[in-house]
Copies of this chain bind each other. A is one copy, B any other.
Amino acid sequence: MENSLKNQAAIAGVGQTRYSKESGVSELSLASEAVANCLEDAGLAPGEVDGMVSYTLDSSDEIEVAQCVGIGDLNMFAKINYGGGAAVGLIQQAAMAIASGVCNNVVVWRAMNGRSGRRMGQGTGQQIVSSDLIHWSWYQVYGMLTPASWVAMIAHKYMHTYNVPNDTLASVATTQRQFAVSNPAAFGYQKPMSTEDYYHSKMVSYPLRVFDCCQETDGGCALLITSTERAKSLKQTPAVIRAVTQASVQGQEQMTSFYRDDIASLPEMEYAAKRVYAMSGLGPDDIDAACLYDAFTTEIVMQLESFGFCGRGEAKDFIADGHIGPGGRLPNNTHGGLLSEAYIHGVNNIAQAARLIRGNAVNQPDKTVDHVLVSSGVGVPTGALILGRD
């Protein structure tokens, strides 16, 4: 990694649409609005964008968004697979294109009618359309048809192995809701959640209750990535990419890596951690805040260990000590995250991380935030990102 992506590029623009349960518009409209807002935020003319990246699951093709927004010639366009596993992969794509001179300005986005349109949480059970779904066919016959059911398998084993109480999950859910309560963009805005509320929510797949699961959201979120140098001349404080990587490791399936020797850990996330720490020269102690991928509460618990914020089996204590909450050592998802702000497939978590570096995020911590860690989807090919302030 000698010739790495460290400090070469920065997030210079952040844009989003209203997050709702029924947008009333097309996904293309959401994507275009988010991208337009992002360019407006950065102060960059659409014609200056020359690269575009999104998710394979995103229904809006690059050229259609380009046409809607007024973007012209493109030198690079790509899509990334594996649902939320794509999130920071978008940033790596952009950083590679900029570092290698292919593009000057890359816009990335995710937009979806995730509640009024295709509801991902409802899972599969229909036709096998791509090769990785072959694996799902082994589990579907046992009723494991949804993301919650696949994640529960890993979560249950982890909690059993390390004697993790359900209160740990309750604490993650209520802590992130506490942040969302003061975030006008969030589903959880002005909707507090008590521990009692948490325990009254319906069990979906043990140990996961409804309040352990992320929102289903209609909305879009976009980010502009440019060179660190160029970012300094734009409107916002640059969120410099200290390190970014995608990560997939042995035994990797999409949500169902059940045939590994140890399923009570996240080896792809540990690989991502190793790479971003090596690339940035930073370690867990340097990270001031995090936006860890949180489709389910248990993913936060396990990732605290993957990224070395505490030892194996110690995340329950780290959380009980209040470290991921307001005023904590590692405020996590201070916008509410996917659990309580919106499920824009992880891109809204990157947006919050960029705002934390700018210093003007909702629930901005009192302390100085020099470095924020962000991760992509859990249990799938994934990635990690460290943003920093110059």
Residues of A at under 8 Å CB distance from B? 1-5, 8, 26-28, 56, 59-67, 72-82, 89, 92-93, 95-97, 99-102, 129-132, 134, 245-254, 271, 275, 381
Q: Are B130 and A59 in touch, CB under 8 angstroms?
A: yes
Q: Are A63 and B100 in touch, CB under 8 angstroms?
A: no
With both chains docked as a complex, state the minimum distance between the C-beta of A68 and any C-beta of chain B, in angstroms.
Answer: 9
| A56 CA to B61 CA, complexed, in Å | 11
Listed A/B pairs (25) with beta-carbon separation below 8 Å:
A3-B100, A4-B100, A4-B101, A5-B102, A8-B100, A56-B56, A56-B79, A59-B129, A61-B82, A63-B248, A64-B134, A65-B131, A67-B251, A74-B246, A75-B245, A76-B246, A77-B80, A77-B248, A78-B79, A78-B89, A79-B81, A96-B96, A99-B100, A100-B100, A102-B245
With both chains docked as a complex, state the minimum distance between the C-beta of A22 and any C-beta of chain B, in angstroms.
Answer: 19
| A320 CA to B95 CA, complexed, in Å | 46
With both chains docked as a complex, state the minimum distance between the C-beta of A253 and any C-beta of chain B, in angstroms.
Answer: 7
With beta carbons under 8 angstroms apart, the residue of B4, B56, B73, B93 that contacts A249 is: B73
B-side contacts of A131, CB under 8 Å: 26-28, 59-61, 64-65
Q: Are B93 and A78 in touch, CB under 8 angstroms?
A: yes
Q: Are A381 and B77 in touch, CB under 8 angstroms?
A: yes
Q: Are B92 and A102 in touch, CB under 8 angstroms?
A: yes
Apart from A62-B81, A77-B81, 20 more pairs, CB < 8 Å: A3-B100, A5-B101, A26-B131, A27-B131, A56-B56, A59-B129, A59-B131, A61-B82, A63-B254, A65-B131, A67-B252, A72-B249, A73-B247, A74-B248, A75-B246, A76-B89, A76-B96, A78-B81, A78-B89, A96-B102
| A219 CA to B293 CA, complexed, in Å | 38
Q: Which residue of B lies closest to A63 (CB)?
A: B252
Q: Are A101 and B2 in touch, CB under 8 angstroms?
A: yes
| A64 CA to B253 CA, complexed, in Å | 8
With both chains docked as a complex, state the minimum distance between the C-beta of A330 and any C-beta of chain B, in angstroms.
Answer: 26
| A76 CA to B4 CA, complexed, in Å | 13
Q: Knowing A100-B3, A100-B99 touch, does A132 contact B64 (C-beta < 8 A)? A: yes
Q: Are B80 and A79 in touch, CB under 8 angstroms?
A: yes
| A76 CA to B96 CA, complexed, in Å | 10
B-side contacts of A129, CB under 8 Å: 59
With beta carbons under 8 angstroms apart, the residue of B1, B66, B78 that contacts A101 is: B1
Q: Knowing A5-B102, A27-B131 touch, does A253 contact B63 (C-beta < 8 A)? A: yes
Q: Are A81 and B101 in touch, CB under 8 angstroms?
A: no
| A100 CA to B246 CA, complexed, in Å | 14
| A3 CA to B249 CA, complexed, in Å | 31
B-side contacts of A275, CB under 8 Å: 75
B-side contacts of A64, CB under 8 Å: 131-132, 134
Q: Which residue of B lies closest to A130 (CB)?
A: B59
The 6 closest A-B pairs by CB, nearest first: A3-B101, A74-B248, A61-B132, A64-B131, A99-B100, A28-B131
B-side contacts of A78, CB under 8 Å: 78-81, 89, 93
Q: Which residue of B lies closest to A8 (CB)?
A: B100
With beta carbons under 8 angstroms apart, the residue of B61, B73, B95 that contacts A81 is: B61
B-side contacts of A81, CB under 8 Å: 61-62, 77-79
Q: Knowing A56-B79, A61-B132 touch, does A248 contact B73 (C-beta < 8 A)? A: yes
B-side contacts of A75, CB under 8 Å: 245-247, 275
| A75 CA to B383 CA, complexed, in Å | 8
B-side contacts of A62, CB under 8 Å: 81, 248, 381
